[in-house]
Amino acid sequence: MDFYLVGPIFIFSYLENKLYKTGMTPLFVFLFPLTIAIILAELLDNSLNLKEYKILIFNVSLIWFSLGVLIRLFFLLFPIKQKKIDIKKFPKLFYYIQILVLIPLLITTIKAIFLLGITNIKGKARGIFAHIYILFSTFYLIPFYMNKKKFKKVYFIMTIVALLLHPKYETFLFLLPLFFYQTYKSRKIFKFKVFIISLSLILLMFIIFFLTYYLNFKINKLDYEFSDFLSFLIKHIQYYFLSPIYIGEYLLKYEKYGNPEVVVAPFLNIINWVQGDRNYIDTTLTFIDYLGIHSNVGGLIPELIYSIGKSGMYIFVTILAIYSYIVENLLLRNEIWIFTSLILKATLFLCFFSNVFSVLGYVERILGTMLITIFIIIYQIYQKSEYSKKHKKLK
């Protein structure tokens, strides 16, 4: 059965890569991590019954591939004119945007340390500065697209130190776009260089996990032998990454048992906040015990089925596919869309873990990056028109 799951996804991804030439395509980043997680889970535990889950993944892959082809054809038949901006020749505006990323990140980190102490900071950086950082955070990647190696190294070290104090998903949303940018530059995913980069990313993520927990153990003065600590970490990583498959299988048995409002919770919570209503929708799943696993994450597809049923899930992933492929086609027309594409792909990648689209921070990043990108395009058009007017006056 694994061949019937892996085969179509590889074939669809290969054909999409030929059609789009943007490195890792939306379908690949969305479904490949989930496919690998399912295969690993089945290899390690034969008590799992994932047949229904695999059928759902195949159906979703077919929908995404079909929509990807149709939307690409649409853009080829009805081209949208855009002002092209070279990724290596950023407008000066980008440098001001960087300030709106770096300063809020440092302020929220320092504020949280001051109020809560360094041992209690993780995941508790909140307030207006935290939201400003989230909205502009994707543009934090700008220095890594430049050719100034010394500047990159300093920036990288400083960022990793800051992100170690924040939730792990912040680290993933920092590293994954960098990785996807490398595949974007190579334009191919089935390439030895991409394979090496993938292994490097996995190693780097392990190092981040290691440092996060090692520092946490040291700060909290937990006395462990290093070999015991390493054994704990490996088991924890296995548990951490594969628990969504176990809980996902469980959730598929309980269609429409969950709260349907969770699917649009970020938008409803924003409306509640504007209206002064602080009764926000809780998007966190209750912890579930299943086959020896105790977790509250089940992956996007099972969590959607648990909340809104199979029909609702198919509608949701179809809308998500349409948006993803529109962004991908806009990127092919204008490289300014690289930031929206990268943060969207990073978010799609993490969908194997949970319904990340129910979390405001993820949605803020994607929509915020998109709106800022549109603003930059309009600003560039305005600058060009102003330059043309001045040029005519001089004549």
120-129 residue pLDDT tens: 445 555 556 6
Sign of CA dihedral 118, 122, 127, 129: positive
Q: In angstroms, what CA-CA distances link 219 with 121, 165, 167, 313, 387?
A: 12, 12, 17, 43, 57
Residue 208 sits at the vertex; the CA angle it makes with 336 and 24, to the nearest 5 degrees, is 35
In the structure, what pLDDT confidence band is assigned to residue 171 with cuts at 50, 70 and 90? confident
Residue 239, C-beta contacts closer than 8 angstroms, at least 6 positions apart: 293, 295
Report the alpha-carbon distance of residue 345 to residue 51 in Å, rounded: 27
Question: Of the candidates 352, 289, 348, which has an alpha carbon nearest to the alpha carbon of residue 323?
Answer: 348
Residue 176 domain boundaries: 2-394
Residue 115 sits at the vertex; the CA angle it makes with 369 and 154, to the nearest 5 degrees, is 50
Which residue has tokens 């926000």?
280
Task: Enter the pTM of the model.
Answer: 0.83
Residue 12, C-beta contacts closer than 8 angstroms, at least 6 positions apart: 27, 61, 62, 64, 65
Least confident of 11-20, 129-138, 357-366: 129-138
pLDDT at 300: 94
Q: Which two tokens stand for residue 119?
A: 């041992």
Q: For the chain, what is the total number of helices (H) and then of strands (E)?
A: 13, 2
pLDDT surpasses 70 at 80? no
pLDDT surpasses 60 at 86? no
Residue 311, C-beta contacts closer than 8 angstroms, at least 6 positions apart: none
Listed in order, strand segments (DSSP E) in the chain are 288-290, 293-295
Q: Which two tokens stand for residue 13?
A: 């991804």
193-227 residue pLDDT tens: 666 666 666 676 677 667 777 766 766 666 667 77
Which residue has tokens 């309009």?
378
Contact 133, 108 (CB under 8 A): yes
Q: Which two tokens stand for residue 237?
A: 């990583």
Contact 186, 23 (CB under 8 A): yes
User: Based on the structure, what is the number of domains in the chain?
Assistant: 1
